[in-house]
Amino acid sequence: MADPRRGRRRRPARIPEDRGGGWTGREFEVAVGPVAHGGHCVARHEGRVVFVRHTLPGERVRVRVTEDRHPGFCRADAVEVLEAAPARVERPCPYSGPGKCGGCDWQHVRPAEQHRLKAAVVREQLVRLGGLDADDPVVAGLTVQDLPGGALRWRSRARFAVDRTGAPGLRRHRSHDVVVLDDCPITVEPAAQAVLTRRWPGAGAVDVSIDSAGAVTTTRLDRRGRPQHSEVRQVGEELPREPAGRAERRAGGRDWEVEGTGFWQVHPAAADALVTAVSGFADVRTGETVLDLYAGAGLFGGALAPAAGEEGRVVCVESDPGACAAADANLAHLPQAEVWQGEVDADGLAELLAELGPAPDVVVLDPPRAGAGKAVSRLLAGTGARAVVYVACDPAALGRDVAAFTGAGYRLADVRGFDAFPMTAHVECVALLVRADS
Ligand X SMILES: C[S@@+](CC[C@H](N)C(=O)[O-])C[C@H]1O[C@@H](n2cnc3c(N)ncnc32)[C@H](O)[C@@H]1O
Q: Is 347 exposed, middle or buried (0-12, 13-18, 19+ CB in 10 A)?
A: exposed
Q: Min. distance of Cβ 412 from ligand X in angstroms?
A: 20
Residues 6+ away with beta carbon under 8 Å from 376: 344, 345, 346, 349
Using CB under 6 A as the binding rule, whether residue 380 contacts ligand X is answered as: no
Nearest distance from C-beta of residue 318 to ligand X, angstroms: 5
Q: Kind of pairing, strands 410-419 and 144-146?
A: parallel
Please identify which of the residues 74, 324, 393, 429 carries the catalytic annotation.
393
User: Residue 405 CB, nearest distance to ligand X (Å)?
Assistant: 18
In sequence order, what are the residues at sequence separation of 6 or more whose Cβ sits closer than 8 angstroms to the Cβ of residue 77?
Answer: 52, 53, 54, 63, 64, 66, 98, 99
Catalytic residue flag (residue 393): yes
Question: Which CB sits closer to ligand X, 295 or 431?
Answer: 295
Q: How many residues bind ligand X (CB under 6 A)?
A: 19
Q: For 152, what's the count of Cα atoms within 13 Å in the CB-facing half-sphere?
A: 12
Report in angstroms how near the CB of residue 332 gets to ligand X at its nearest: 17
Cα dihedral 299, 150, 215, 228, rounded to 10, equals: 80
Nearer to ligand X, 35 or 344 (CB): 344
Return the residue of 149, 368, 384, 407 that touches ligand X, per CB under 6 A: 368
If the CB atoms of residues 295 and 429 are measured against ligand X, the closer one turns out to be 295
Neighbours of 278 (CB within 10 A): 25
| Nearest by Cα to 79 from 23, 42, 25, 18 | 25
- Helix segments in 238-298, DSSP class H: 270-282
Piece of 149-157, 239-247, 257-265, 281-289 that binds ligand X (CB under 6 A): 257-265
For every residue of 192-249, DSSP letters joined together read HHHHHTS--TT-SEEEEEE-TT-EEEEEEE-TTS-EEEEEEEETT-SS-B---SEEEE
CB neighbours of 190 closer than 8 A, spacing ≥ 6?
Answer: 210, 214, 216, 235
Task: Answer whether 28's CB lies under 8 Å from 21's CB.
Answer: no
* Contact string 42-71 vs ligand X (x = CB under 6 A): ------------------------------
Q: Is residue 257 involved in binding ligand X (CB under 6 A)? A: no
For residue 22, the Cα-to-chain-centroid distance in whole angstroms is: 33
In the complex, the smallest distance separating the C-beta of residue 415 from ligand X, rounded to whole angstroms, is: 17
Q: Which is nearer to ligand X, 261 or 336 (CB)?
A: 261
Closer to ligand X at the Cβ: 139 or 327?
327
Q: What is the dihedral angle through the alpha carbons of 165, 168, 174, 175, rounded to the nearest 10 degrees?
A: 0
d(CA 378, CA 381): 5
Question: By CB under 6 A, which span of 73-81, 162-170, 288-296, 379-387 interacts with ligand X?
Answer: 288-296
Best CA proximity match to 155, nearest among 299, 265, 257: 265
Report DSSP letters for 27-51, one per residue. EEEEE---EETTTEEEEEETTEEEE
**What's the CA gap between 352 and 251, in Å, rounded?**
28
Shortest gap between Cβ of 207 and ligand X (angstroms)? 15
The least distance separating ligand X from the CB of residue 261, rounded to whole angstroms, comes to 11
- Nearest distance in Å: CB 24, ligand X: 36
What residues numbered 292-351 form the site for ligand X, per CB under 6 A? 294-297, 299-300, 317-320, 323, 343-345
Q: Of 59, 68, 113, 366, which lies in the binding site for ligand X, with binding defined by CB under 6 A? A: 366
> Minimal CB distance to ligand X: which residue?
296
- Contact residues: ligand X, CB under 6 A: 263-265, 294-297, 299-300, 317-320, 323, 343-345, 366, 368
List active site positions. Answer: 393
